[in-house]
Amino acid sequence: MHGFAYQNGSLHCEGIDLQSLAEEHGTPLYVYSAGTIRDHFTRLDQAMTGVDHEVAYAVKANSNLSVLRLLAGLDAGFDIVSGGELFRVIEAGGNPAKCTFAGVGKTRDEIEYALKQGIYSFNVESEEELRYLNTVAAELDLVAPAAVRVNPNVDAKTHKYISTGKSENKFGVDFEAIEDLYARAAAELPHVKLRGLQMHIGSQLTSIQPFVEAVEKVTPLVLTLKAKHGIEFWSIGGGIGIVYHDSLAAGSIDWWDAKSEQDRPLTLTQYGATLVPRLKDLGLKILLEPGRAIVGNAGVLLTRCLYEKQGTAKTFKIVDAGMNDLIRPALYEGHHEIVPLKEPAGERKLVDVVGPICESGDFFCQNRELPDFQPGDTIALMSSGAYGFVMASNYNTRPLPAEILVDGTTAQVVRKRQTLEDIIAAER
């Protein structure tokens, strides 16, 4: 559920009319719902009641300082994948001792920075990285807390670009090699403390079964590592999916109630209810690393229709946002529901919604039946709170959009719109 709905014929974010934000701040424009972020974090945290756990937000999903500050205020942990993300967390008031550092290519500078800041654990992706971590920590006369990422070879049945838990993916160490690696590390790497084990099988999972399969497969390994090496935590990763196709309707409890048990997407409550019984007796702290599940449906991208181009084969609605602003459709066929800010009542038309970028891949949908919005109208690309602004670029020398955080009836600019002068400032 989320904070976006039509009120009196106009799409609102919580108590704010989105059309008023578009008129005041221009488009393209990202808008986030603070209430939705709080609600999703709290729901997941409560769903894991009965297990010693921590919800460590995946910063890569949306790293705006105000979003991080909001989550730090909820006592969130943070899953980071770069030194820059750690810097952001600290700037936002987050506790580095509640940060885990993942990623296959950590540099020396990043490792040193994270060690000096006192992070909770490095999530290590290879034996080579573990040995390098030991070397850097030794030179600083420190001990590096670490967990190796196990690849359980579980098929998450998601898009190939966001699947991470199979043997052919670049992430993690093969399941069969983990025990020997921990034994070698314990014997040979005195400046590494093996604090836990980590796994993550992929993103945008809307079924509980892959999570169950991975947890049940890895549990015996976790218990062995606990007995032999005294590990204290198991990070079971993130990956909980969100509703993209019916995003606006899914903001209502009625939409969920109308779904049969088989057709209802995975909920945070179901996730907890299914996994807690399998985790509660392990005697370990369980870390979760959600990103999209917290912020995905908490954001929209507003864009204005510039032109309608009618060709012999297609009708194109040309908008002022481009793939540089939201790359998910072009990058991995990501679907975003598209709705006009003015509640539609009439004709629908089969169209492509495309941006101004000089690339054929610059589209937000193709051959989709949509309300027949017109040039000058503003539309919302729903479910844009995760992997939206964070993946934006200046391609075609286009300034980055502004970002707005709505909290009830208050709307705050949390990132100013970039100017052309901003873009070229470092090149002068």
Which residues does the annotation mark as catalytic?
358
What is the C-alpha separation between 363 and 148, in angstroms, rounded? 39
Residue 205: closest CA among 247, 162, 249: 162
Known binding residues for substrate are: 292, 328, 332, 359, 387
Closest CA to 40 of 55, 18, 30: 55
> Residues 369, 349: contact at Cβ < 8 Å?
yes
Q: Do residues 356 and 285 make contact, with C-beta atoms less than 8 angstroms apart? A: no
How many other C-beta atoms can be found within 10 angstroms of the C-beta atom of residue 181? 18
Binding residues: 239, 289-292, 328, 332, 359, 387
Q: Which amino acid is at 342?
A: K
Contact 390, 366 (CB under 8 A): no
With beta carbons less than 8 A apart as the criterion, state whether 170 and 149 touch: no
Amino acid, single-letter form, for residue 374: Q
For the annotated binding site for pyridoxal 5'-phosphate, the residues are 239, 289-292, 387
Helix (H) or strand (E) holding 7: strand 4-7
CB crowding 309-345: b at 16 or more within 10 Å, else e: eeeeeeebbbbbbbbbbbbbbbeeebebbbbbbbeee
- Rounded CA-CA distance 152/218 in Å is 7
320 DSSP assignment: S
Give the pairing type, strands 77-80 and 173-174: unpaired
Which of 243, 245, 244, 153 is closest to 202 using CA atoms? 153
